[in-house]
Amino acid sequence: MTDAKYLQLQGISKHFGAFTALDKVDLAIRRGEFVCFLGPSGCGKTTLLRIIAGLESQSTGSILQGGRDISVLPPADRDYGIMFQSYALFPNLSVSENVAYGLVNRKQPRAQIAARVEELLRLVGLPGSGAKFPAQMSGGQQQRVALARALATSPGLLLLDEPLSALDAIVRVHLRNEIRSLQRQLGVTTIMVTHDQEEALSVADRIVVMNHGVIEQVGTPMQVYREPASAFVANFVGKVNRLRAVAEGDHWYRVGDKRLRCLPDADPGCNAGREVSLYLRPEDRVVDGLREDDPLRCAGRVRSVEFHGANCMAEVDVDGIPDQSMQLQFSLNQMDEFNVHEGGMVHFALRADRLRVFPTAVA
């Protein structure tokens, strides 16, 4: 991934009448990178993908791919393969004919097409399936066929529009891992649209978090999860505790009867008296080796426990913080070791290095 600007989006906006779907989006994607557009429904991520593909025209802005201006080119003249949520396979064509569709349109020799189709079906784990029809295959197998078709012309860019959302959970996890492995093997620059946080965190080199037509943050999965750039990102990506607080100055904040101190790099430096929100992940707590003088030490009673398999989520009413329960994550071993159970008391300390501060919006 040496080319920092293989795909460049510059000032991309899209208006549907009075509604602004995208507002001056700027983004650079490196060659060979796997990027996920992540956000809630209606945030503009699919519209942005369709503009890159030429299936939708931008109202303003330009797109460069490999140094070539593709801003107004029709889809057929752009260098990409695309895979849709609905598979979009031709039901009257065999698997081989579906995969070969783009190659036939390019009038490649029949023997060359047959060899390429066979190679692709092996690549996606469907050797010997060329004579079947889409209706004879499972949803996961159909999605593999759609992926093979998208890769048939060896595109420089692979676009994936919510490709796994129609599959059941087990197949979805298996196929996303295969897509990621295949992407690394081929080195094709890939953009995937998804609203599934776990999906984005597990496969992406970088995540583009979108909301209301703008980019809230671009970063690695770890950066987006650990260092959210806005309150929206903190709330949207992963589970998080949000505590209402008031700034006291010098990075100290009052939450109920407790005073918590944040590290300077996680604190925008709010003036004393400013209402803020403190964000902390459920796993960002310490339960062993607690110090009596730790200002972030807390105690609370477990209101409920939610079983998640290897981990459990305990909802805790924290002493001194009324009307603001917290969710704390414990492994099964920790549940036993620290006797965490509904109605019981737990002692813990918050991790100052993980607290994030965002000013509360003024109405």
Q: What is the pLDDT of residues 234-275, one digit of tens each?
A: 999 999 999 999 999 888 899 998 888 888 776 676 778 889
Copy the structure tokens of residue 357. Answer: 């501060």
Per-residue pLDDT at 164 = 84
Strand residues in the chain grouped as ranges (E): 7-16, 19-29, 34-38, 60-65, 68-69, 81-83, 157-161, 189-194, 206-211, 214-219, 241-249, 252-255, 258-261, 275-280, 285-286, 297-307, 311-318, 326-331, 345-350, 356-359
Q: How far apart are CA 192 and CA 201, in angstroms?
A: 12
pTM greater than the 0.85 cutoff = yes
Q: What percent of the chain has pLDDT over 70?
A: 98
In a domain, 344, yes or no: yes
Tens-digit pLDDT profile for residues 117-142: 999 999 999 999 999 999 999 989 99
CATH of the domain at 205: 3.40.50.300
Paired residues of 19 in beta bridges: 16
Tell me, yes or no, whether 88 and 136 share the same domain: yes
Copy the structure tokens of residue 159. Answer: 């676009």
In a domain, 1, yes or no: no
Identify the domain boundary among 233, 266, 289.
Answer: 233
Identify the domain boundary among 213, 233, 253.
Answer: 233
Q: Are 266 and 255 in contact (CB under 8 A)?
A: no
Tell me, yes or no, whether 228 and 243 share the same domain: no
CATH of the domain at 250: 2.40.50.100
Tell me, yes or no, whether 31 and 83 share the same domain: yes
Tell me, yes or no, whether 169 and 266 share the same domain: no
Q: Domain count of the chain?
A: 2
Domain limits at 215?
7-233
Tens-digit pLDDT profile for residues 169-190: 888 888 899 999 999 999 999 9
Axis crossing angle, helix 169-186 with helix 139-151, rounded to the nearest 10:
20
Tell me, yes or no, whether 171 and 261 share the same domain: no
Copy the structure tokens of residue 30. Answer: 């490196």
Could you tell me the pLDDT band of residue 3, with boundaries at 50, 70 and 90? Answer: low
Dihedral pair phi/psi, residue 326, rounded to 5°? -120, 150
Tell me, yes or no, whether 193 and 270 share the same domain: no
Tell me, yes or no, whether 64 and 134 share the same domain: yes
Axis crossing angle, helix 110-123 with helix 139-151, rounded to the nearest 10:
130
Tens-digit pLDDT profile for residues 66-86: 999 999 999 999 999 999 888
Tens-digit pLDDT profile for residues 302-312: 999 999 999 99
